[in-house]
Structure formats: C-alpha cells, structure tokens
Structure 1
Amino acid sequence: MTGIRTLAIDCGGSGIKGALLDERGELTSARTRVAVEYPMTPQAFLRVLDDIAAESGTFDRATIGMPGMIRHGVVINTPHYITDAGPHTAVNRELAGRWRRFPMQEALVEQWGRPVRVLNDAQVHGAAVITGVGYEVIFTLGTGLGCAIFDEGQVVPKIELSRAPVRKHQIYDTWVGAAARRRIGRAKWERRVLRAIAGLRPMFEWDRLYLGGGEARKITCKLPDDVTRVPNIVGIQGGARIWELSQ
C-alpha cells in the first residue's frame, strides 16, 4: 500500500471501532471493535486505542473521534466515560475529574510517536460527507445526539448541543438517544427526531443537514428535502479527510 496511511478510530458509548484508511478515506484493513468496559479511565481508554492500533497495522497518522467537547485535542468534557456503569447512569465525580481537560492528543502523540488529531466524533463523521459548499450541519444519532458544523468546508468550533435542554427536564442526549428509542418505540422516537430537526432548523439555518450515527439507519420515515441520511461507517472514513480541513 502506498500513500499516507491513517488510523481512524470512532469512539462511542458502547463500542470503540477502528480501521486503516488510504488517502481517499477507503478502508484498507478490517474494522476492529472493542466493547467499552465501565468505568473507563483516560488511561484505560489509551490502552484500548493502543490495542486497536496494534490490531490494525502500520500507520502514518491517526484520527480519533470521541464524544464530548474536545478543544485542540484536549477533553473539556465527555458524557459517557465519566460514569461507573455506562451512558445515562450516575456520574463518578472522581472519574469526571480525571477526564476533565485531559490532553488526549498530546498523550497519543507521545504514545505512538506519530501525528494525531483528536476531535469530536461528529466532526469526523461530517468530514467524510460534506460538499464544502455552504453551511452544512451533521447530527449523529447514537448513544446520544452529536453535532458538528462546517462553513464552506471549514470546521466551525464545537458546540455541545447534546447537553441542551429540550423538554420535560430532558436534554437532547436522553430525548433522542438510543435508550429513548428502545423505551418509547421506533415510531414515537422517529417523531421526536423530526421534531428536533424542525425545532433546530431556525437555530442553524443550514443549507444541508446530514443524519449519521448508528441509530440513523433505524429511521424509516420520510425526511425533509434538506436532510440526508449517511451510513455510520463515515465515522471512520472521515478520519482521512479531516486532515484537509482547518479548524
């Protein structure tokens, strides 16, 4: 294989997946998936990434997409790994303190001796699918709700939409996440997703909205004309193109 080899890892609340990509974002290795074991300290997280890297093969650079607010490779907050028993369970304050402002990108550069970019997972998803024209937004439906914004192909600084209140003392993470779909059923959950899109459209005024993440494939209803559903694999594939986009 010639060209730059990118190790791309997509980190979710239930599983962490990785693969090697060529310069076009095409997979050149089998995907490796590791189930998240809670509680997950930053050091345990680094060990999981190291296991995936070893399984994937030789790489020249790495892209890590993870949930939460990530700024310049530093974890400002992350919603799942700070709990003892997994998403939407009680937060472990000591664990949250260990994650708060953890320099993940710096730690991985030191661990692997290669260039690394650590970003929010929705930003990596979006990098694979945006056209680079206009104001493009991606919502990722998974354990919670991820969000990333691109303006004329440039990554816009992150906002943490998932933690915004929506109704009945719920935040978007709990209102449209996977647990809500399992609890209320697909039909009611789809209506919630459509209401979220309609309610957020005036806030963003996007030219194009993309719906990604593992839960997006479960949507069977008709989506608005300015909304495009994308496969979950783009969460890995965007790991190559994100290097071309400035932030």
Structure 2
Amino acid sequence: MAQALGIDIGGTGIKGAVVDTVTGELVTDRVKLPTPEGGSPDDIVTTVVALIKKIGGLDDGVPVGVCFPAIVRNGRTMSAANVSKKWIGLEAEALFEKALGRDIHFVNDADAAGYAEVRYGAAKDVSGLVLLTTLGTGIGSALIYNGVLVPNSELGHLELDGKDAETRASYAAKERENLDWKHWTKRLQKYYTHLELLFSPDLFVVGGGVSKNYEEFLPLLDLQTKIVPAVHRNNAGILGSAALAAD
C-alpha cells in the first residue's frame, strides 16, 4: 500500500491524516488542531509538528504533502489568506522542511482540493480540462489538464461587474448581502459563463462548504459544460496534498 501524509492548513483549523494514495482512503484518524491566533509562521509550524505527533509520528519514507491558503511559487508563499501577512514572500517550504527534517511537497489549498477530485472524486477518469472552484470566503480555483495540475490559477480574481468575482459571487457574498439562492445563482451564472468563454473546460467541479447544498443552485445554472459538486469537501486538502507528495 502506497501511503503519504497530507496536512491541510486553514485560517481556523489545521488537519491531517495518513492516506492510502491508491484508493484515497484515510489509514489513520483525521486529527485537527485550531490554527494559532494570528497565524504566524513559527506558531503554525509548531502546530503542524504537534499534529504529526498526534497522528502517530512520521515513518521514514512516507512522503509529506502540505497545502496552504496562498499562492505558492517555488516553495515560497506569495500571498496570505486568513493568516499572518508574515507569510508573504516567505520560503515556507524550507521552513517546514527544516522543522520536519525531511523534504515535503508544498501546494496551494485549492490546487490540492482540485487534484483530490481528479484522483479520487467527482472528476476521476475525466480527460481534458477540469476546472474546480471552491465557493467560500472567496473563490479558490484549480485547473487540471489530463491529470496534470496547472498551479496558482486564482480565478476568483477575474473581473465580474467591474469587481473581483469573489466579492460578488462567493458564498460569503451571498451571506453578506442576504441573497436567496435564485439571486446568488444569477451571479454564479455570469461567473461560470465567463469561465466557459475563457477556458472551454470539459468539467466544472464545485467545492467549498456550500457544495453540500448543490441541489439549491447547480440545477439553476444554464451552461454548456457539465457542472457537478465536489465529493471530498472536508478531506480534499489532505487527500490532494498527500497524492501530490506521493507523485
């Protein structure tokens, strides 16, 4: 059995588990610890080390994948969502590698989620271009072409009605403006139609917590591209980062 450890760092919680990277099943319990107040680099690294101890430690030869809410370029975090601004421009991958005493694979959280859906979820065995969007506080995105991840797409920042799309069409925008499903879906329609125009994808996958209510809004969309809810909402970051590390 091929195994890898996946760690998913978020603004409120840090979670991890060892994954069977062939089947996508968790082979340990999923452990979650709260993200330290302020989300500073040293505090988050310390929490990740503690999390790995709670999971059962690291066996030699088990690959480690870590996903993080930032643009990740050559192991460096170029942005910071819901964590300390000290992450911006930081050699984050090297920081984790020093603390863990081994090489890791470091990746954006939406990219990890998208890869999980291609390997084990809603986009398994789909050829061509898969485009995952996570509808949450903002809009995260992942582009995967024939199983190969194209990182850091940041499609939540496309312009929609003269503004960042995520300020108009994220789930947070729905909540903030108290929009019903019908009126929110009109904004999603405009957003996904624009994505179709730019990318002509073979499949849209919709993630984020709101995807559990997909029956309220996906049927209202009129698109040429098939659009389906994500399967691995809470575990997507763990599965995707582990699979990418194993690969």
How well do the aligned residues superpose, as a CA RMSD in angstroms?
2.2
5+ residue gaps in structure 2? 119-124
Question: Does 1:13 find its partner at 2:11?
Answer: yes
In 1, Cα distance between equivalents of 2:143 and 2:199 = 9
For this pair of structures, how many residues does the alignment match? 228
> 1:18-167, aligned counterparts within 5 Å?
18-24=16-22, 25-59=24-58, 60-82=62-84, 96=85, 98-130=86-118, 131=125, 133-167=127-161
Deviation (angstroms), 1:190 = 3.5
Contact 2:36 2:43 in 1 (8 A): no
The one-letter code matched in structure 1 to 2:26 is: L
Give the equivalent residue in structure 1 for 2:121.
none
Give the equivalent residue in structure 2 for 1:90.
none
Moved more, 69-78 or 218-227: 218-227
In 2, Cα distance between equivalents of 1:243 and 1:31 = 18
In 2, Cα distance between equivalents of 1:150 and 1:137 = 7
> 1:162-181, aligned counterparts within 5 Å?
162-167=156-161, 169=163, 171-181=164-174
Among all aligned residue pairs of Structure 1 and Structure 2, give the percentage whose two residues are the same amino acid: 25
Deviation (angstroms), 1:125 = 1.1
Contact 2:64 2:245 in 1 (8 A): no
In 1, Cα distance between equivalents of 2:246 and 2:39 = 31
| 236, 239, 244: which one aligns with 2:238 | 236
Label 1:194 to 1:19 Cα distance change in 2 as closer, same or farther (>3 A).
farther
Give the equivalent residue in structure 2 for 1:219.
214
In 2, Cα distance between equivalents of 1:175 and 1:47 = 36
In 2, Cα distance between equivalents of 1:63 and 1:47 = 16
Label 1:164 to 1:48 Cα distance change in 2 as closer, same or farther (>3 A).
farther
Deviation (angstroms), 1:234 = 2.4
Deviation (angstroms), 1:117 = 0.8
Contact 1:32 1:55 in 2 (8 A): yes
Label 1:32 to 1:206 Cα distance change in 2 as closer, same or farther (>3 A).
same
Deviation (angstroms), 1:146 = 0.7
Aligned with 1:211: secondary structure? strand
5+ residue gaps in structure 1? 83-95
Deviation (angstroms), 1:148 = 1.2
TM-score, normalised by the number of residues in structure 2: 0.82
Contact 1:132 1:154 in 2 (8 A): no
Deviation (angstroms), 1:240 = 3.0
CA deviation vs aligned residue, 1:199-222 (integer Å, no higher than 9, x gap): 221112111111112222233231
Deviation (angstroms), 1:134 = 0.8
Deviation (angstroms), 1:186 = 4.7
